[in-house]
């Protein structure tokens, strides 16, 4: 069967179209708690200009955002706030863990710093660096755009698969005696 299509009309799939719209209008929620936040601001400023990728509209209300950028270390007192803000963001939403501290705790292996936010909220992209340069954050946004285009769906079905419900890492907190390598104790025996 042949259908007559008028000029200036394109045919596509609804999933593809919705993902195309979403990926080119990511509105970031800047959850900036440390020096990564400075690089995040530089990414938004004119030299690096994240507006070229459609993500320049930083909103300070989670209800208007669909991309959470966690930039900096998150301590145990801050984590309930982070989780509440994540839950307040409307679907569909994504999360970028920016920098070593947000991804793993970084150098802050202490009693109060959460060792990677992916233990407690879903994370789509990790940006290495301490802090990462704006180019690295922009690369993460581009990769996230590719991911949204590749697997996004109109109804958000990609978020409710079993694989997406699993934690990213099966890391268990090691007991102090079971550390993989013995750490030197400063000043002799403890």
Dihedral over Cα of 161, 164, 169, 174: its sign: negative
Residue from 79, 136, 142, 143 binding other proteins (CB under 8 A): 79
Q: How far is CA 143 from CA 16, 23, 32, in A?
A: 16, 10, 21
Closest CB to other proteins among residues 50, 102 = 102
Q: Are 124 and 164 in contact (CB under 8 A)?
A: no
CB of 189 to other proteins, least distance (A): 8
87 part of the interface to other proteins, by CB under 8 A: yes
**How many residues bind other proteins, per CB under 8 A?**
30
Separation of first and last alpha carbons in the chain = 83
Taking the C-alpha atoms of residue 171 and residue 153, their distance in angstroms, rounded to an integer, is 30
Q: Which stretch binds other proteins (CB under 8 A): 19-27, 34-42, 114-122, 137-145?
A: 114-122
Smallest gap from Cβ 187 to other proteins, in A, equals: 8
Instruction: Closer to other proteins by CB, 10 or 190: give it.
Output: 190
Return the range that interacts with other proteins (CB under 8 A); candidates 4-12, 41-49, 85-93, 145-153. 85-93
Edge-first strand listing for the sheet containing 28-32: 28-32, 67-71, 94-98, 125-127
Instruction: Count CB atoms within 10 A of the CB of residue 162.
Output: 6
Question: Is residue 186 involved in binding other proteins (CB under 8 A)?
Answer: no
Chain contacts with other proteins (rule: CB under 8 A):
75-77, 79-80, 83, 86-87, 89, 91, 93, 109-115, 119-122, 159-160, 164-165, 167, 173, 176, 190
């Amino acid at each position: 069967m042949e259908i007559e299509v008028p000029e200036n009309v394109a045919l596509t799939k609804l999933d593809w179209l919705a993902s195309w719209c979403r990926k080119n209008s990511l509105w970031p929620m800047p959850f900036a708690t440390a020096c990564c936040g400075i690089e995040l601001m530089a990414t938004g400023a004119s030299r690096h200009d994240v507006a070229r990728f459609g993500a320049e509209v930083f909103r300070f209300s989670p209800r208007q955002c669909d991309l959470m950028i966690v930039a900096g270390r998150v301590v145990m007192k801050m984590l309930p706030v982070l989780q509440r803000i994540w839950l307040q963001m409307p679907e569909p939403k994504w999360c970028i863990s920016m920098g070593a501290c947000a991804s793993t705790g970084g150098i802050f292996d202490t009693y109060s710093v959460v060792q990677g936010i992916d233990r407690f909220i879903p994370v789509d992209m990790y940006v290495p660096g301490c802090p990462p340069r704006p180019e690295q954050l922009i690369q993460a946004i581009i990769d996230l755009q590719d991911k949204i285009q590749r697997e996004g769906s109109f109804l958000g079905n990609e978020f409710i698969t079993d694989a997406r419900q699993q934690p990213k890492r099966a890391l268990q907190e090691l007991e102090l005696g079971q550390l993989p390598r013995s750490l030197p104790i400063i000043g002799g025996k403890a």
